C-alpha cells in the first residue's frame, strides 16, 4: 500500500509539473511566435483562440471555407458546450470572430475531421471544436 501511495504522489507531481511547464513556458512561446511570425511554419498548423473568459490558447486548426476546426486537448473546450459561445481567432495574422461549439456525441464527424486535422495523432484523444466564422462588418 505504501508503494502505491508513493507512486500516486510521483504521478501527481509529474502531471502538475507538465501542466505548469506547458502553461508557463511552452504556450507563451507559441503565442509569441504566432503573433510575431504569422507566415511561419507553425502558423500554418496552429492558431490562437480567445475564449469567452478571455484566456488565449494555441491550438491546431483546420480551416475549410467559413468553418474552422480546432483540436482541444485540455479542459478549455467545456466553455463551448451546448450552443457554444463567441470566440476570437488569430489565424496567420488575421483576427476572425466566430461562434464555437464543442462537438460532443458525434464520433463519426469527429473522426472524419480529425483525419484531416491531425492525421497522425491517435483518434482517442481530444475534443473537436467547430467554429462558424461571422462575417466582419
Return the CATH number at 102: 2.30.110.10
| CA-angle at 114, arms to 96 and 123, nearest 5° | 140
Phi-psi region of 127 (alpha: psi -120 to 50; beta: other; left: phi over 0): beta
For 84-120, the pLDDT digits (tens) are 999 999 999 999 999 999 999 888 888 889 889 887 7
pLDDT at residue number 105: 85
**Residue 10, SS3 per DSSP:** helix
User: In the structure grid, which three cell numbers stand for residue 125, read together?
Assistant: 484523444
Provide block-wise average pLDDT over 10 residues at a time, the chain (137 residues): 80 68 62 88 92 92 95 89 95 95 89 86 80 87
**Number of structural domains, the chain?**
1
Question: Which residues, at least 6 apart from 45, have a Cβ–Cβ distance to it below 8 Å?
Answer: 60, 61
pLDDT at residue number 18: 60
What domain range is 96 assigned to? 3-134
**Residue 40, SS3 per DSSP:** coil
How big is the chain, counted in residues? 137
Q: pTM of whole model > 0.85? A: no
Amino acid at each position: 500500500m505504501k508503494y502505491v501511495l508513493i507512486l500516486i504522489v510521483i504521478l501527481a507531481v509529474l502531471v502538475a509539473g507538465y501542466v505548469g511547464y506547458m502553461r508557463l513556458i511552452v504556450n507563451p512561446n507559441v503565442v509569441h511566435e504566432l503573433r510575431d511570425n504569422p507566415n511561419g511554419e507553425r502558423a500554418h498548423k496552429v492558431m490562437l483562440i480567445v475564449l469567452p473568459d478571455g484566456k488565449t490558447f494555441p491550438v491546431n486548426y483546420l480551416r475549410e471555407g467559413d468553418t474552422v476546426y480546432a483540436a482541444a486537448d485540455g479542459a478549455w473546450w467545456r466553455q463551448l458546450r451546448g450552443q457554444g459561445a463567441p470566440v476570437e481567432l488569430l489565424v496567420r495574422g488575421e483576427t476572425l470572430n466566430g461562434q464555437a461549439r464543442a462537438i460532443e456525441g458525434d464520433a463519426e464527424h469527429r473522426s472524419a475531421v480529425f483525419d484531416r486535422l491531425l492525421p497522425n495523432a491517435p483518434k482517442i484523444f481530444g475534443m473537436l471544436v467547430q467554429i462558424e466564422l461571422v462575417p466582419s462588418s
